[in-house]
Amino acid sequence: MIDINLIRTNPEIVKENIKKKFQDSKLAIVDEVVKLDTEYRNLKNEGDNLRQQRNQISSQIGGLMREKKVDEANALKANVTSINDRLKEIEVKEEELATLIKQKMMVIPNIIDDSVPIGKDDSENVEIQKFGEPKVPNFEIPYHADILNTFDALDKESSGRTSGNGFYYIMGDGARLISAMISYARDFMINKGFTYCIPPFMIRGDVVSGVMSFAEMDAMMYKIEGEDLYLIGTSEHSMIGKFKDQIINEKSLPITMTSYSPCFRKEVGAHGIEERGIYRVHQFEKQEMVVLCKPEDSMAWYDKMWSFSVELFRSLNIPVRTLECCSGDLADLKVKSCDIEAWSPRQQKYFEVCSCSTLGDAQARRLGIRAKGEKGNYYLHTLNNTVLASTRALIALLENNLQEDGSVVVPEPLRMYMGGLDVIRPKTTK
């Protein structure tokens, strides 16, 4: 949510930003907010003036009563009653307007950074840099589900019976690989100075609406029936929510955390759920990184955070690239975002494995997260980035470390988490 003062003083900047995001249907909302805000402030001024009058009259009444001028005092009391009645009307209307203004403000997109490329959708995202050589071996790379099947590591038939499409059983060496990658990602971030955390896996509705837009919430979140609780789609949600309505001492900044969680997603949309494999599923595990910092430090942290993901994937022998998200591909709360994509030698193209974003003070404004500095309180900037998402990272690891005989080399950093195992060999031929 942007600062209401920006709409008051520079509504055209807000409208231009909406146009850059190709959301012209929201342009009228800016004018609506300006009109409602003017009405709200006029009422507030009227209320303040009436309270001042009431205080003055109350003082006069006290003086008259001391002088035994009861009739005159009673006449003034009637004025006070009238003022109180009007104040009640104003307070009700103020509350209604404040709620309506907030509802409309919540759908106005955040102001994007000047460096963000302008484009309508993800097809216009811009490649920034490649890391590692994207190789295609001289033997065929099977589909990742087929690779896992040779290790007896994937069972989607059973998960279809227990849970339906979009779920899976990962077993044996496949499950060990996922646990090893998550553990490695955890320790990798701890070694970068981040504090490890396991957060709640369910959060309340006011936290959900504080960390994401309503459209995202509807497309992603599972709600617990009969409860004001949602299953998290990423641990960023509960990690940012941890600081809701808090005033943080500036001396403790930046706050850098890395969190583990299962993630649950509806995955509503044209892309659908993958039936055979595990690329797009309803449930996976993830290691996340989250930073709360001073506004002037957020872009430096943004660059650090995506570079950590690049470093981690390169240590697993996976070539990656960074892709700058264009304006039309940015979620409404984001100021700037890039995807880290892993090379798929089977498809001979890159696919998304991480997403790094700075949201400016949008989440902090929604959740009331402020810092106390020498010059007063201010809203913090929040950033998040995927360290490693289990299923997509597993796909990238399998494809890029597969050998011609069907075995998969375990990257050196993972071996200590796999009991020293350096190669996973096929158990069956299917």
Please tell me the distance from the alpha carbon of residue 20 to that of residue 425, in angstroms, as a whole number: 51
- 3 state SS for the chain: CCCHHHHHHCHHHHHHHHHHCCCHHHHHHHHHHHHHHHHHHHHHHHHHHHHHHHHHHHHHHHHHHHCCCHHHHHHHHHHHHHHHHHHHHHHHHHHHHHHHHHHHHCCCCCCCCCCCCCCCCHHHCEEEEEECCCCCCCCCCCCHHHHHHHCCCEEHHHHHHHCCCCCCEECHHHHHHHHHHHHHHHHHHHCCCCEEECCCCEECHHHHHHHCCHHHHHHHCEECCCCCCEECCCCHHHHHHCCCCCEEEHHHCCEEEEEEEEEECCCCCCCCCCCCCCCCCCEEEEEEEEEEECHHHHHHHHHHHHHHHHHHHHHCCCCEEEEECCHHHCCCCCCEEEEEEEEECCCCEEEEEEEEEECCCHHHHHHCCEEEECCEEEECEEEEEEEEEHHHHHHHHHHHHECCCCCEECCHHHHHHHCCCCEECCCCCC
Residue 430 pLDDT: 42
Average pLDDT of span 356-373: 96
10 Å CB burial of residue 327 (0-12, 13-18, 19+) is buried
194 closest CA partner among 287, 331, 91, 269: 287
- Which pLDDT tens digit goes with each residue over 316-328? 999 999 999 999 9
Residue 67 pLDDT: 75
Quick check: 176 and 182 in contact, CB under 8 A? no
Is the whole-model pTM more than 0.85? yes
Dihedral of the CA atoms 174, 175, 181, 186 (nearest 10)? Answer: 180
What is the residue extent of each domain of the chain?
4-105, 122-424
Residue 61 pLDDT: 79
Average pLDDT of span 224-253: 95
φ/ψ bin of 380: left (φ > 0), alpha (ψ from -120 to 50), beta (otherwise): beta
Residues contacting 109, CB < 8 A, separation 6+ = 17, 18, 21, 23, 26, 330, 332, 333
CATH class for the region spanning 4-105: mainly alpha
Please tell me the distance from the alpha carbon of residue 203 to that of residue 197, in angstroms, as a whole number: 16
Residue 375 pLDDT: 87
**Residue 270 pLDDT greater than 60, yes or no:** no
Q: How many CA atoms lie within 13 A of 13 on its CB side?
A: 14
Rounded to the nearest integer, the mean pLDDT of the chain is: 93
Burial annotation 402-425 (CB, 10 A radius, 16+ → b, else e):
beeebebebbebbbebbeebeebe
Residue 268 pLDDT: 62
Residues contacting 8, CB < 8 A, separation 6+ = 34, 37
- Which pLDDT tens digit goes with each residue over 166-220? 999 999 999 999 999 999 999 999 999 999 999 999 999 999 999 988 777 777 8
For the domain 122-424, what is the CATH code? 3.30.930.10
